[in-house]
Amino acid sequence: MDVTLTVNGEEKSVSVPPETTLLRLLRDDLNLTGAKIGCDVGDCGACTVIMDGIAVNSCLVLAGQAGGRSVETIEGLADLDAYHPLQKNFEDLGSLQCGFCGPGMILTAKQLLDDNPNPSKEEIQDALAGNLCRCTGYTKIVEAVADAAAEMRGDKQAA
C-alpha cells in the first residue's frame, strides 16, 4: 500500500505491505534508525516518536495509520551544530550509558515539556514510566529533563 506522511517536516511517500509498522517504515524505508526496535510490543518505549504532537510507540502503529499524519523522530530534533536543550543536558549530565533508550526517552520528555514547561520531579518520572533504561537508574535522566525545562523557560543559563 502507498503511504504518504510527513516526517520531520518533509513529506515522504513509501510503498509498504499493510503489516508494516511505523517503526519498520521509519527504519527500513526512510533509513531513520534513531527509533530503536526494543521489545516491539509497546513495553519499553525505545521506539517512541511524536505523532501529531503526542508520544507514541511506533511499534504499535501500522504504516496505514500513520498515513496523512506528522511524525517527529530524534533525527528531526536538532543537528550536530545545535542540539535541543534536552539532548544537551543529557550529554552534560552523562544521563545515558549505552544510549539505546535515549531517542525514545528524549522524545517522550519533549512531549512532556511541550505540554508542561515546568514539571515536578514526580511528573517527569510519571511521564517517563514507559521508557525503560537498564543502565542508569534514571536519576540523571530525570535531572537532565528538569535542567532542560529550566533552560527552555529561561530560568537557567545554557552551560
Return residues touching other proteins (CB under 8 A).
1, 17-19, 21, 40-43, 45, 48, 54-57, 59-62, 64-65, 67, 108, 111-112, 126-127, 129-131
Of the candidates 49, 58, 53, 55, the residue with the CA atom closest to the CA atom of residue 24: 58
Given phi > 0 = left and psi -120 to 50 = alpha, else beta, which region is 81?
alpha
User: For residues 64 and 75, which CB has a smaller minimum distance to other proteins in the complex?
Assistant: 64
In the complex, what is the shortest distance from the CB of residue 100 to other proteins, in angstroms, rounded to a whole number? 16
In the complex, what is the shortest distance from the CB of residue 56 to other proteins, in angstroms, rounded to a whole number? 5
CA 60 to chain centre: 15
Dihedral sign of CA atoms 140, 130, 63, 100 in order: positive
Of the candidates 137, 136, 138, 135, the residue with the CA atom closest to the CA atom of residue 127: 138
User: For residues 118 and 155, which CB has a smaller minimum distance to other proteins in the complex?
Assistant: 118
User: For residues 80 and 129, which CB has a smaller minimum distance to other proteins in the complex?
Assistant: 129
Question: For residues 107 and 22, what is the distance between their CA atoms, to the nearest angstrom?
Answer: 16
In the complex, what is the shortest distance from the CB of residue 85 to other proteins, in angstroms, rounded to a whole number? 20
User: For residues 17 and 154, which CB has a smaller minimum distance to other proteins in the complex?
Assistant: 17
Question: For residues 146 and 55, what is the distance between their CA atoms, to the nearest angstrom?
Answer: 18
User: For residues 18 and 154, which CB has a smaller minimum distance to other proteins in the complex?
Assistant: 18
Question: For residues 137 and 6, what is the distance between their CA atoms, to the nearest angstrom?
Answer: 35
In the complex, what is the shortest distance from the CB of residue 158 to other proteins, in angstroms, rounded to a whole number? 27
